[in-house]
Amino acid sequence: MICEHCKDRQATVTVTQVVNGQKSERHYCEVCANKFHPFNIDFHKDEQIPIHQLVSNLFGLPVWNNAQEKLQATTQKITQCPQCGYTFRQFLNEGKLGCSQCYETFSNKLPQVLTKIQAGTKHIGKSPGRPTNDHTRIKKQIETTREQLLLAISEERFEDAAKLRDEIKDMERKLERGGVDAP
Amino acid sequence: MNLEHFLKSEAPGWMDDKGLDADIVLSTRIRLARNLEGYRYPLSFTEQEAKQIDGVVSQAVLNINNDKRIFSHFTIKEMPLLQRQVLVEKHLISPLLAKKEKSASVLLSSDETISVMINEEDHLRIQCLLPGLQLLETYELANKLDSHLEKQLPYAFNESFGYLTCCPTNVGTGLRASVMMHLPALTMSKQIKAVTQMLARFGMVVRGIYGEGSENLGNVYQISNQVTLGKSEEEIIDDLQNIVVQIIQSERGAREALLKKSKVVLEDRFNRSLGTLRYARVMTSEEAAACLSNVRLGVDVGIINDVPLSVLNECMILIQPGFVQQYAGTTLQPAERDIFRAKLLREKLNVNRQSSMEKGEEKYDV
């Protein structure tokens, strides 16, 4: 029999795996079997365990056994980031992404992780090349001016109040014009 | 500017004693994480990419040099280990950056309030540090630099995820705002646990000042926001500001209560600590931090009058291993460090006493 992995050498090792009650048998040569051998993988895992657990706890997602992942990798295609070669599993294991492209590559899977650790999945706030948060700033300004307006009215400073009222109107107009893309 | 300027044994600019609520809030720090489009992140990039990023970012920062703040560029690899440690202890670079072997570097402003770390976890991290509670001011400082840089650098930005970062805990605004607080009364009265739990509920984290795991060494805590996505910069800063103000109030309340209940005990404790600092011959960093915290509280509540806050701020920085070794001029074993640390503290706290006695009134503005 020929090794299932390298399809080159003679298969001398039989790996029996039970996943969810389903038994599967694989035949490898000694070289390939060594790569998949659980003891080998355990050595690697040793140093990573704290981060592993931390990240998986943090994201609330199970971290699969590396052995399974590797076995899977040979049989089924996994989405890999074209720029840095990161896979989603790798991200879950390390808690870090490899490059900015990863955000595109995993854009359908990332939100479920982000909801666990962030306040939302949509960025609100500064964007490059745009005046910073003009919208919220104007809104705040309107609020404070309104307070001043009420104060002016209660103190019967009606000239001031008229001025403040006009200021608020101006700001509201500005907000309508500039706030098209705001949430 | 040469590196010596940043290594001298003095409290850094951010440890001035003039900030707002400076008795409780030691400093405010803002950090912005940014990456450049088209390059892989430092954990997976090549040496060549690292060099290119270092070049582009440094150039961009040096281009905006104005008269007030002059930036100097230092490559981490070229620095001896001890010097890196001193910069870490001054909070000018992160421990992670200090360990980097690939083209990592830092740009420091001459007044030590701004540092731009290159190729740390992200391509660049803008950090601004100011004394006291100044969240808005510090953010403005960082924001201004960021806005200058974005004109020259192609930031990695995505409409839905915001600024893209290596770790998803920073994505969005890339903003981490932290406030360093001295909370001895809350610690003594065991209320700090409740505070920590409350903070967690508001998405804030608490750490010790001397890094991870040094939880309450010297009763100094660093409080910062956890959430970076789904909240605007203003909201993040407002929320932190509100929480910090509440903590300040409860700390003041706890101080008053303690003082009312056990003034003599406290007086005794503060003065013993001052005595230890002035006369001890062997001093571990734990003991030094504890004594400094006591003396500081003594100064804050007006029981100790002849030690300026600035000296205490300086000592808090100087008791760390890197500084002690720099003071000794050589690397030391922990036991030797304790001896030098005691000597350093004696010098700092006694010299000051002599000068304050000579100058009389002038020094009593604490």
- Would you give per-residue pLDDT tens digits along chain B (366 residues)? 677 777 775 666 666 666 678 889 999 999 999 999 999 999 889 989 999 999 999 999 988 766 567 899 999 999 999 999 999 989 999 999 999 887 899 999 988 899 999 999 999 999 999 989 999 999 999 999 999 999 899 999 988 899 999 999 999 999 999 999 999 999 999 898 888 888 888 889 888 776 555 566 889 999 999 999 999 999 999 999 999 999 999 999 999 999 999 999 999 999 999 999 999 999 999 999 999 999 999 999 999 998 988 889 889 989 999 999 999 988 999 999 999 999 999 999 987 555 545 544 444 444
DSSP secondary structure, B20-70, as one string: TTTTTEEEEEEEEEE-BTTSB-TTT--HHHHHHHHHHHHHHHHHT--SS--
What is the per-residue pLDDT across B234-254, written as a single tens digit (0 to 9) for each? 999 999 999 999 999 999 999
- A21 at B interface, C-beta within 8 A: no
Say which residues have a Cβ less than 8 Å from residue A145's Cβ, sequence separation at least 6: A164, A167, A168, A171
SS3 content of chain A, % helix, strand, coil (to 5): 55, 10, 35
- A50 at B interface, C-beta within 8 A: no
Whole-angstrom CA distances from B305 to B199, B295, B309 are 34, 10, 10
Binding-site residue set of B for ATP: 27-31, 91, 125, 176-180, 207-212
Cα separation, A13 vs A33, whole angstroms: 7
Contact check, Cβ <8 Å, A118/B39: no
- B362 at A interface, C-beta within 8 A: no
DSSP secondary structure, B129-142, as one string: EEESS-HHHHHHHH
Domain ranges of chain B: 4-251, 262-358
pLDDT for the residue A4: 81
The alpha carbon of residue A120 is apart from the nearest alpha carbon of chain B, in Å, by 4
**Residues of A whose CB is below 8 A from B238:** none
**Residues of B whose CB is below 8 A from A137:** 234
Cα separation, A70 vs A84, whole angstroms: 19
Distance of CA B237 to the CA centre of its chain: 18
- A86 at B interface, C-beta within 8 A: yes
Q: Which of A86, A96, A118 sits opposite B227 (nearest CB)?
A: A118
Contact call for residues B236 and B179 (beta carbons, < 8 A): no
The topology (CATH level 3) of B4-251 is Creatine Kinase; Chain A, domain 2 (3.30.590)
Which amino acid, residue B292? L
Whole-angstrom CA distances from B314 to A64, B2, B273, B308 are 49, 22, 17, 10
ipTM, 2 dp: 0.79
Contact check, Cβ <8 Å, A127/B162: yes
Element spanning B325, H or E: helix B321-328
**Residues of A whose CB is below 8 A from B239:** none
- A127 at B interface, C-beta within 8 A: yes
Contact check, Cβ <8 Å, A128/B161: no
What is the per-residue pLDDT across B41-93, written as a single tens digit (0 to 9) for each? 998 899 899 999 999 999 999 887 665 678 999 999 999 999 999 999 899 99
Whether pTM > 0.90 for this model: the answer is no
